[in-house]
Amino acid sequence: MPPKSIDYAFTARHAVGAAQDPTYAGALSFMRRKYSKDVRGADAVVWGVPFDAAVSNRPGARFGPQAIRRASAIFDNDPQYPFHLDLFDKLAVIDYGDCLLDYGNHQETPATIEREAAGIIAEGAFLVTLGGDHFVTWPLLKAHEARHGPLALVQFDAHQDTWPDDGKRIDHGSFVGRAARDGTIDAAHSIQIGIRTHAPEDCGIQMLQGHEIEEMRAGEIAEAIRQRVGERPTYVTFDIDCLDPAFAPGTGTPVAGGPSTAKMLSVLRQLGGVNVVGADIVEVSPAYDHADITAIAGASVAMHYLGLLAEKRR
């Protein structure tokens, strides 16, 4: 039996190197990464934002970071598919834990998230955020824009999230329109993939709707993304309801007619040439999940973010 460790999330001495915890035991962090609030020297930071007060349908995404971390234990530290490498051989990654939010004072939530995210990325680390409902992407975009300037947005989603907004709403369905109107994102170089609902306006963002991507190959979708964003600093946000409910039942606003997990992971796999400066996975609601199907999909999305980064760093 090869050497094993236990509770690597606490016992690890460094931010590099694979863990050897049994998949069924040990302290749960994202992919067994070392828990730390010290960002210095980290190439990437995984961070949870357990917030779901902005949902329009079923709540529960505040438990998303826990579920995604738990599901990530299935990655058993062999070379990760489809990257065929130990992601943590040279890539220093820590799990920063979760953002502390006051559940009785939601108006403070955006500033709290933005401030803590800005502190992490100020150290030069790539930030992977585990949501939480999709509103958490708004302050994350603000934090990344402050460092990189207006962003190209790549949004995997069943919803446009461009509903009317007064600039103050705590709403997971309007933040993209707000970001487009105030220049946080460059709408002319942003794209949404998997849209299966209607909103009053598109804000100039390109859409690949559900029926369109059903007829497209993964490579064609990836090429459309590359053409749209070019070399611009890009933020990737993945709402798990982009996937068909057959592949992601554990979410607050499921919409039938979506793509498979395999197809969207294949799209992500082909974005290595895109200048991605930050990313998130949101709207995983484990109370509606079955056998961790949705949590495993969410963990796989986050793992792909780190895999693409590991390839670049090599």
State pLDDT tens for residues 166-202: 988 999 989 999 999 999 999 999 999 999 999 999 9
Q: In the structure encoding, which two tokens stand for residue 25, read together?
A: 């035991």
∠ CA 25-27-31, nearest 5°, is: 90
Judge whether 247 lies within some domain. Answer: yes
Judge whether 3 lies within some domain. Answer: no
Judge whether 69 lies within some domain. Answer: yes
CA dihedral of residues 15, 97, 172, 198 (deg, nearest 10): 40
Question: Which SS3 state, helix, strand or coil, does residue 22 take?
Answer: coil
Number of structural domains in the chain: 1
Closest residue by Cα to residue 164 from 149, 177, 180: 177
pLDDT at 172: 93
pLDDT at 5: 79
- List beta partners, residue 235: 153, 278
Judge whether 96 lies within some domain. Answer: yes
In degrees rounded to 5, what are phi and psi of residue 82? -100, 20
What is the C-alpha to C-alpha distance for residues 104 and 194, in angstroms, rounded to an integer? 34
Q: Which domain holds residue 267?
A: 8-313
Judge whether 147 lies within some domain. Answer: yes
Residues in the chain predicted with pLDDT less than 50, given as ranges, are: 1
pLDDT at 20: 85
- Give the single-character DSSP code of 151: B
- List beta partners, residue 85: 80
Judge whether 155 lies within some domain. Answer: yes
Judge whether 129 lies within some domain. Answer: yes
pLDDT at 3: 65
Judge whether 296 lies within some domain. Answer: yes
Q: In the structure encoding, which two tokens stand for residue 5, read together?
A: 């460790």
CATH code of the domain containing 201? 3.40.800.10
pLDDT at 1: 47
